[in-house]
Amino acid sequence: MSFGAHPDLAAAVALSRDLVEAADQGQLERVAELDARRLKLLKSYRVVAPQVGPADRAVLQEIGKLNLRALGLVEHQRRMKGRAMDMVVLGRRAITAYARNGYSR
């Protein structure tokens, strides 16, 4: 889809695809690194191309869609970690309650 698009945007959309993959795999440090690299490219594009042509607009829309997907995946990862932490807290409470009440096998 990046045919005819500015090279910075073509690189930014490729990074966006990698970012979605990293978010899906829960590699949040990699997500942050890819996002920072992508931001530099987008800022560079904005400086050199004040007018947005049709090819660039299509790539920017794809980047936006990929970004929304990545945000959803990161939120999903956050919720999964939150649930896991809740389960740890419940497990600790159960152990404390059993220990306090003298339950044993």
Judged against a pLDDT cut of 70, whether residue 1 lies above it is answered with no
Q: Which range marks the domain in which residue 31 is found?
A: 7-101
Q: For the full predicted model, state whether its pTM sits above 0.85.
A: no
**Which pLDDT belongs to residue 84?**
82
Each residue of 32-86: pLDDT tens digit?
A: 999 999 999 999 998 887 788 888 999 999 999 999 999 999 999 888 888 888 8
| Buried/exposed 5-32: b ≥16 CB within 10 Å, e otherwise | bbebbbbbbebbebbbebbbeebeeebe
Number of domains in the chain: 1
20 in any annotated domain: yes
Residue 21 lies in a domain: yes
19 is a domain residue: yes
